[in-house]
Structure 1
């Protein structure tokens, strides 16, 4: 299936994320469309020990290197607000870092742990491990759009955005085969995340929830 293996477990949008989406004007219904787990998503449940963000001890950001067939179209608009633009930049780097970990088949890759903590990091670790177990990675172009960002009084940032996976697929490493599947409404995913700036000035993602087929993201 597009940008996600069929072997991944289902995920639902938590109540907290639903409130975030409502506050941002989402028009998705109360019925969850939760066919698959999404890259880096928080399952909303208890996890085993989360990967620590030890890489955040240094403000020097990791170098993200991806296969040439893994590309992105970020349509996120820069606001001119330094804090908001920094949030968007670090959220973008986290997305790429997860794909880098998948490509390098490393479920504890320091790059995504630099940009995530807590349940967001644990969810990413589980997702990456699924790819490793099935000797697969991502390929194609993924589009990100329709973002909504608020920096709250408590210093956290609430980021909601859409992902278009219609041109992104799974590639199996042993055969080189790409699993090209038809585009459906579930090819479009809405994410709701919470980020906080750490002591090194990096906006790390602490929670991340997703929902497939949301009306908010349909073309």
Structure 2
């Protein structure tokens, strides 16, 4: 996701912890940035039906059409949906959250409504910081961002979930908003990033999920393919 590495760690850490007894934390080693959820609620629209009714097991994941990106930019989620409806909903919401941040960058709008559709609390704070970083740099994105190896763990009687996955951003580039010039980068271990998301069920009896926390590990050599 390119500019994410420039987010200062001190700005990413919130003091409140998610009150889910079954929920584990991130790795917290060097290269990690963590946001834990805050207790205050965020008023926002509900996630869309793409999270509520995922496709059949084994089908490709479908991102919310409201998060459509320009033709020169694509997020490639190499994820197939599991048979379990809750796990499928969690994976779909995770992809929607990741793409909502890029959607905000493309729009150059830290108040993009899709940001708090798929995130609350500290994950929402992180998403806004990520978008603002690009706005301040007067840059957007171009190319293909590849996400793969998702693992879903349901928690707290299926009312919360933890998702881990990898990213290869070797074909994703920053682009000047004013000129359209792309900054092409070469091979670098920084292209490999691992993520851990914590999501909570938005409404009981549905499969509508929102991101609450995010942990990012850069130079994630375990993600090399």
- Name the TM-score class by shorter chain: 0.7 to 0.9
In the alignment, which residue of structure 1 is the partner of 2:132?
129
- 2: CA distance, partners of 1:75 / 1:110: 26
TM-score by length of 1: 0.79
Is residue 2:55 matched to residue 1:86? no
In the alignment, which residue of structure 2 is the partner of 1:54?
44
1:187 to 184, 191, 211: 191
In the alignment, which residue of structure 1 is the partner of 2:57?
none
Superposed, 1:106-125 pairs within 5 Å as: 106-125=109-128
In the alignment, which residue of structure 2 is the partner of 1:217?
223
Is residue 2:88 matched to residue 1:71? no
Is residue 2:12 matched to residue 1:9? no
- 2: CA distance, partners of 1:194 / 1:203: 10
TM-score by length of 2: 0.77
- 2: CA distance, partners of 1:150 / 1:52: 25
Secondary structure of 2:89's counterpart equals helix
- 2: CA distance, partners of 1:137 / 1:162: 22
Runs of 4+ in 1 over 6 A off after TM superposition: 12-15
Is residue 2:27 matched to residue 1:18? yes
Question: CA distance change for structure 1 residues 50 and 217 in 2, over 3 Å: closer, same or farther?
Answer: farther
Could you give the per-residue CA deviations for residues 165-188 of structure 1, whole angstroms, max 9, x where no partner exists? 000010111111111112211100
In the alignment, which residue of structure 2 is the partner of 1:146?
149
- 2: CA distance, partners of 1:192 / 1:113: 18
- Please list every run of 5 or more consecutive structure 2 residues that lacks an aligned counterpart in the other structure: 14-23, 51-63
Secondary structure of 2:104's counterpart equals helix
State the number of aligned residues: 197
Could you give the per-residue CA deviations for residues 18-69 of structure 1, whole angstroms, max 9, x where no partner exists? 18xxxxxxxxxx5x235xxxxxx754699xx98934122x756761221111
Is residue 2:204 matched to residue 1:204? no
- 1: CA distance, partners of 2:85 / 2:221: 31
- 2: CA distance, partners of 1:59 / 1:75: 21
Secondary structure of 1:129's counterpart equals helix
- 2: CA distance, partners of 1:160 / 1:186: 18
Question: CA distance change for structure 1 residues 212 and 42 in 2, over 3 Å: closer, same or farther?
Answer: same
Is residue 2:105 matched to residue 1:102? yes
